[in-house]
């Protein structure tokens, strides 16, 4: 009498599993922060077996590195597209304002992910290649229209505005964005940037 061998379970073909884990990791970070991320939480969010985590990644550090790299590249690519679409300096000024007001300051999830990355990179130098590359891509996009020093200052302005929006308990005034961009670029007479100045902002040279 022959005994049939037990049927082996068929491994489900899932070519996008690794990508799904990375995206799920970003979702978990946005919800609970880097400190709250675990293999189990990410696996549940990605709807994959827990063993998939160690199959695709050597550890949590690699997963976080992949996730934040994907996030930063997508973010900076979007900004680069905006700046590349600007036909001249005038259009570039308007694009910067729109990028800050629409792309950067309007999405709470992206604000949280940005600050989580900054905190992680400040604590762990192995993640600073991500932030350095991000800043480099942003400056390169700005350098299409501005000199290197101005591009660096504009990049710092955008980073600062992001931080303020993430942490400020008061509502942000969009006119402040336009005023700041105008001052750095010397474009106070640019029509896109001319808006009533908020009462709490004093233009240099004016009497309060």
Class (C level, CATH) for 73-193? mainly alpha
pLDDT at 67: 98
Higher pLDDT pick, 170 / 184? 184
Q: Does the pLDDT at position 197 exceed 50?
A: no
Of the candidates 37, 42, 41, the one whose C-alpha atom is nearest the C-alpha of residue 17 is 42
Q: What is the mean pLDDT of residues 69-81?
A: 95
| CA pair distance 128, 15, nearest whole angstrom | 30
| DSSP conformation class of 99 | I
Q: What is the mean pLDDT of residues 114-121?
A: 94
Q: Does the pLDDT at position 189 exceed 50?
A: yes
Q: What is the pLDDT of residues 5-35, one digit of tens each?
A: 554 444 566 778 999 999 999 999 999 999 9
Domain ranges of the chain: 15-57, 73-193
Pick the CATH number of 15-57 from 3.40.50.300, 1.10.10.60, 1.10.3720.10, 2.60.40.180: 1.10.10.60
100: Cβ contacts below 8 Å, ≥ 6 apart: 158, 161, 177, 181
């Amino acid at each position: 009498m022959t005994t049939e061998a037990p049927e082996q379970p068929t491994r489900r073909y899932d070519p996008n599993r690794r990508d799904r884990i990375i995206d799920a990791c970003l979702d978990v970070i946005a919800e609970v922060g880097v400190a709250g991320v675990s293999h189990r939480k990410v696996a549940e969010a990605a709807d994959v077996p827990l063993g998939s985590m160690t199959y695709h990644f050597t550890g949590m550090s690699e997963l976080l590195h992949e996730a934040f790299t994907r996030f930063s590249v997508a973010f900076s690519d979007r900004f680069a597209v905006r700046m590349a679409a600007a036909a001249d300096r005038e259009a570039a000024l308007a694009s910067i304002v729109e990028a800050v007001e629409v792309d950067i300051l309007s999405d709470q999830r992206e604000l949280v992910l940005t600050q989580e990355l900054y905190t992680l990179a400040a604590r762990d130098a192995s993640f600073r290649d991500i932030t350095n590359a991000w800043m480099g891509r942003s400056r390169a996009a700005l350098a299409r229209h501005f000199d290197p020093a101005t591009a660096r200052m504009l990049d710092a302005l955008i980073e600062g505005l992001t931080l303020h929006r993430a942490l400020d308990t008061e509502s942000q005034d969009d006119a402040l964005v336009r005023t700041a961009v105008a001052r750095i670029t010397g474009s106070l007479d640019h029509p896109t940037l001319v808006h009533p100045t908020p009462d709490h902002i004093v233009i240099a040279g004016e009497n309060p």
